[in-house]
Structure 1
Amino acid sequence: MIRLSVTLCVLALTVFSQTTHPANGQEGAGDVQTSVQGIVSEKPTEGRFVDLGDGKYMVPYATTIPGTEIEFTMEPIPGGTFTMGNEDGEDDEKPAFAVQLEPFWIARHEITWAQYKRYMQMEKALKALQATGVRIVDDSNKIDAVTAPSALYDPSFTYNAGQEPEQAAATITQYAAKQYTKWLSLSDGNFYRLPYESEWEYACRAGTDTKFYFGDDADELENHAWFENNSDEERHAVGELEPNPWGLYDMYGNVSEWTLDQYSEEGYVQAASAEEGKPLSLIESYNKPTKLFPRVIRGGSFLQDSEECNSFARFPSNSKEWRSTDPNYPKSPWWFTDEPATGVGFRIVRQYTPATRDEKEAVWQADVASIERDANNRIEANGRGTYGVVDQDLDEEIEELDEDLSLDDG
């Protein structure tokens, strides 16, 4: 097993909690300080925090989806250097190389149906607003618009493995997940995105160098993950099992999680640019997509076995097979229709370092022309899904709509 070298770029990392409400109502989830930015200037006396070394401390923070009481919690992750990959593993886990990361926050849990269905409601809400003559999207502002997904063509497939509010959301394309992070960011005011693959692996390992963050004994996995042996072929409520050392739940199993990276069967192509003894930066470690598929999915799902639910295992998306029974043409850019896509979801990241507008758009928008073309076709030719201008005033405007507007959950 390859050795994991972690140099924490913090002066302290412990577990921080203060008197507030538990996240997502999960028993044992731990209380957190609710903070607008997740930054405090007084050193916490207990619980998890990341010392930034300048009199500021990153702490866990709980916040709500704008316009709702639906809560999510972000956990601080210290900056550091680690060795990504597994020289003793499968071909696509090689070659290993060093990566240096800045601090960031990552969601304590995978995105739930309660959270995602609020985004699904935006198709109806934005169309209703546009019917009143506001938030019209045209060529002058289309680049800033968010696409809201179409209503489900056949909900029975999407929900056949569970649709309860606290269950992990799934059958979601990477493009839809990216648009969700754009919608949330513009509504909330913070910058959220999907994790780069290096961030996902670093957060999952939480300073460990073993196959699992709890060691190498697969018999312990049932305490940490919903997978083939214990899931009963269903997605489960997030946060029911044990977290990793950095407070993250369901990093293995339940649903596999999108990253931003392109997948290569040859393994980590980024390693070719790594100089011996010099770690790559976050962006240097990024395998930027140049085609629709495959993209990297991590963590394994409720459908997979223990060998596929660990810190190293990587999986490619297959956009053709995963939507082969989609009767629409072009195929939906937002939804998958075939297994194993019932086990594909995501969690979100908020980076500590500021991002430019171009950097934000690069991780929010379609990165190949065919995705944008299909979204445009579905919206403009078929009236399914919509574009919308999103900002922090949107939810107030939705509330002012006619009371007859009923936002169902899709």
Structure 2
Amino acid sequence: MRIASACLVALLMAVSTAAAADTLGISKTKPAEGPFVEIDGGFMVPYEITVPGAEVKLSMVPVPGGTRVMGEGDSAYTVKVEPFWMQKTETTWAQYKEFMALYDQLKKIEGAGVRPVTDDNKVDAVTIPTPLYEPSFTFENGEDPQQAAVTMTQYSAMQYSKWISGVTGDQYRLPSEAEWEFAAAGGEKGPYSFGDVDKIGDYAWYVDNADGAQAKVGEKKPNQYGLYDMNGNVWEWVLDAYTEETPEALAGKTVTVAEAIQWPTEPFPLCSKGGSWDDDAENCKVTSKLGSHDDDWKASDPNFPLSPWWFTEYPSTCVGFRLIRPLTELPKTEMRKYWDSLPESLQFDVTDRLGGGRGVLGLVDEKLPEAIKQVQD
């Protein structure tokens, strides 16, 4: 029996290692150079993919597990962070415009009467707004393919993450506030991954060195995990609602990432992190955050209801996002809150605008690229 048990354990270990080796971003052997995160059965390593059906690449780097203390004093709490991959840079216009282009592609698919969205498959659908009516505000600070995409809502960023997940077959999403801070800190406990604030010019585009304009991504030094522009350049959406005070229910506790997320119950304020090119060094700390305000940020939107996908006012010109891919995947039913969760009023806005022809709802899965090719031929 002991021999059989030993054989069984060896077999299970071999299966686990083989599975790890077949997983995107996991190496069976320790890399000879470059960053890696050791896990059971292998090593998480950086990877790059070409997004299926698009002409852009996605570069991801591994972030180790650990803990992050959120808040200060008696109200502080500790979040246990599991390993994940994070996008090396903020999402660029080259990448985001591929998502914007889905409107025309999905309308063609809809017009061809194929791949209809039903109650049974709606879990695999995303919403895309009509093309920008007045793009001058969105591109006010440039639309260079390597600049960070900006002015999209948190909801739109979540839909983008759902599209990437659908066409790749892997689970991508926005980070939680705790995951974002953990990654931005690069293993350091202070307000900046680089330690002394005097070094900020080497790592961040902020108001003192940005010359009044947004820069391209990845032009400063990366942090310890190989992540660029975690301080400055643009604020980055996270999953959480914006809160001024540490949640009382979490004070003094140690919780998981899922337990720590402050899921929004109102349209705003929602949370973005890390500061921008138009902020001072104080607002570019790892702990810095900005709360959205729909009434102000959509003040000149002529539509009713207001767009659930785009903002029209400053400071949204300084707000973008990047994605993460957790090491451990969740059942698709549980991922709905990471991709589709909306307060009731915003759900109404999305439904109304889709019904009025000011957006499209379409399926995003691994068959989408071929469907797009068929309707374009």
TM-score w.r.t. the length of structure 1 is 0.84
**For residue 57 of structure 1, what is the aligned residue in structure 2?**
43
Cα distance in 2 for partners of 1:310, 1:402 equals 47
Unaligned runs of 5+ in 2: 1-21
1:215-364 matches, within 5 Å, as 215-217=195-197, 219-265=198-244, 267-269=245-247, 272-275=249-252, 279-364=254-339
Question: Among 150, 154, 158, which residue is 2:130 paired with?
Answer: 150
Query: Structure 1 or 2: larger helix share?
Result: 2
Per the alignment, in what secondary structure is the counterpart of residue 125 of structure 1?
Answer: helix
Q: How many correspondences in the alignment? A: 357
CA deviation after TM superposition for structure 1 residue 221, in Å? 1.4
1:48 aligns with 2:23: no
TM-fit CA distance, 1:273:
3.0
Q: Cα deviation per residue 1:86-120 (whole Å; 9 max; x = unaligned)?
A: 55xxxxxx833211111111111000001000000
- The answer to whether residue 374 in structure 2 is matched with residue 400 in structure 1 is yes
Deviations 1:182-228 (A, max 9, x none): 011001111000001000000000110122111132x3212111111
Assess if the C-alpha contact under 8 Å between 1:201 and 1:311 holds in 2: yes
CA deviation after TM superposition for structure 1 residue 305, in Å: 1.1
CA, structure 1 residues 60+402, in 2 after alignment: closer, same or farther (shift >3 Å)? closer
**CA distance, structure 1, for counterparts of residue 70 and residue 241 of structure 2:** 16
> Matched residue of 2:96: which SS?
helix
Q: Is the 8 A contact 1:151 1:384 kept in 2?
A: no
Please show how residues 101-112 of structure 1 align to structure 2 within 5 Å.
101-112=81-92
- 2:358 is aligned with 1:384: yes
Q: Indicate how the Cα distance of structure 1 residues 157 and 57 shifts in structure 2: closer, same or farther if over 3 A, else same.
A: same
CA distance in 2, matches of 1:402, 1:193: 29
The residue type paired with residue 325 of structure 1 is S
* Contact 1:293–1:318, Cα closer than 8 Å, also in 2: yes
Q: What CA distance in whole angstroms lies between the structure 2 residues aligned with 1:85 and 1:298?
A: 14
5+ long unaligned stretches in structure 1: 1-34, 88-93, 404-410
**Alpha carbons 1:259, 1:296 under 8 Å: kept:** yes
Matched residue, 2:56? 70
Distance 1:81 1:37 in 2: 25
Note the C-alpha offset of 1:367.
Answer: 2.4
SS, match of residue 48 in structure 1: coil
- Secondary structure of the residue aligned to 1:240 is coil
Question: TM (normalized to structure 2)?
Answer: 0.91
Distance 1:274 1:120 in 2: 41
Shift of 1:362: 1.0
Deviations 1:141-200 (A, max 9, x none): 334311112211210000010101110000010000000000110011110000010000
**Aligned counterparts of 1:378 and 1:178: Cα–Cα separation in 2:** 18
- 1:123 equivalent among 103, 108, 119: 103
How far apart are 1:312 and its partner, in Å?
A: 1.3
SS of the residue aligned with 1:297?
Answer: strand
Question: Taking every aligned residue pair, what percent have the same amino acid on both sides?
Answer: 45
C-alpha contact 1:206 1:244 (8 A) present in aligned 2: yes
